[in-house]
């Protein structure tokens, strides 16, 4: 009976990890496609990003139900409990990353004069950095790799620096081209959403580190 219980618990943990991995894959695609749609003005692709966000919401609910069932029925301890709690928190954060991508997609139709709007070309590079953070942190989660998690946390500084640069660029562009203020304001919103994706990837990295070691990265420097 004990052996059966352990096997069932391991299967549930594997299922939990699989759901988180599926959510992460969808979130990565959403980031990339929302920015592709923004650059090309592809409202059809943007609509698909918005629609597919429902799948992320559904997966988050599945993670919630499975995690609660695991805690209630298996009463996990120590490492196992940390893993379940981390998965519960991570799923919520990844769902928020999907929401930020959806927000970007919803702005696709709000950009005028796209072909001559120079600041628009800066956003994909920033988005790629944020997407790499999401990819790496989910790799760290799957491998229970605290060192890779810390690398993700360090990478957030690059995304923040990119945001500050884009912010200055867009403000200057608005001053020089007053007719573009409305579109530039939309791009500032997009840049802010990308910056938040980086912040959320950092939050996940901290949880991954905790699940793997029992400590948060900041604790190691105290």
Q: Which domains does the chain show, CATH number per domain?
A: 1-213 (1.20.58.220)
According to the model, what pLDDT value does residue 222 have?
Answer: 47
According to the model, what pLDDT value does residue 148 have?
Answer: 96
Question: Residues 23, 63: contact at Cβ < 8 Å?
Answer: yes
Checking if the pLDDT of 77 tops 80, the result is no
**pLDDT tens digits along 138-197:** 999 989 899 999 999 999 999 999 999 999 988 988 898 898 888 889 999 999 999 999
């Amino acid at each position: 009976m004990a052996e059966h219980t352990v096997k069932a618990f391991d299967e549930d943990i594997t299922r939990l990890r699989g759901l988180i991995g599926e959510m992460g894959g969808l979130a990565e695609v959403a980031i990339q496609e929302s920015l592709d749609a923004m650059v090309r003005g592809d409202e059809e692709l943007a609509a698909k990003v918005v629609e597919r966000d429902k799948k992320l919401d559904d997966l988050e609910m599945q993670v919630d139900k499975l995690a609660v069932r695991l805690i209630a029925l298996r009463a996990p301890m120590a490492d196992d409990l940390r893993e379940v709690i981390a998965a519960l928190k991570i799923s919520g954060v990844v769902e928020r990353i999907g929401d930020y991508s959806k927000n970007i997609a919803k702005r696709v139709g709000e950009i005028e004069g796209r072909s001559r709007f120079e600041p628009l070309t800066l956003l994909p590079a920033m988005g790629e950095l944020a997407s790499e953070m999401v990819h790496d942190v989910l790799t760290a989660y799957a491998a229970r790799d605290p060192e890779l998690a810390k690398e993700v946390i360090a990478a957030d500084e690059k995304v923040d620096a990119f945001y500050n640069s884009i912010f200055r660029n867009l403000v200057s562009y608005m001053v020089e081209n007053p007719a573009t203020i409305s579109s530039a304001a939309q791009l500032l919103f997009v840049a802010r959403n990308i910056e938040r994706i980086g912040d959320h990837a950092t939050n996940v990295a901290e949880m991954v580190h905790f699940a793997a070691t029992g400590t948060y990265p900041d604790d190691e420097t105290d």
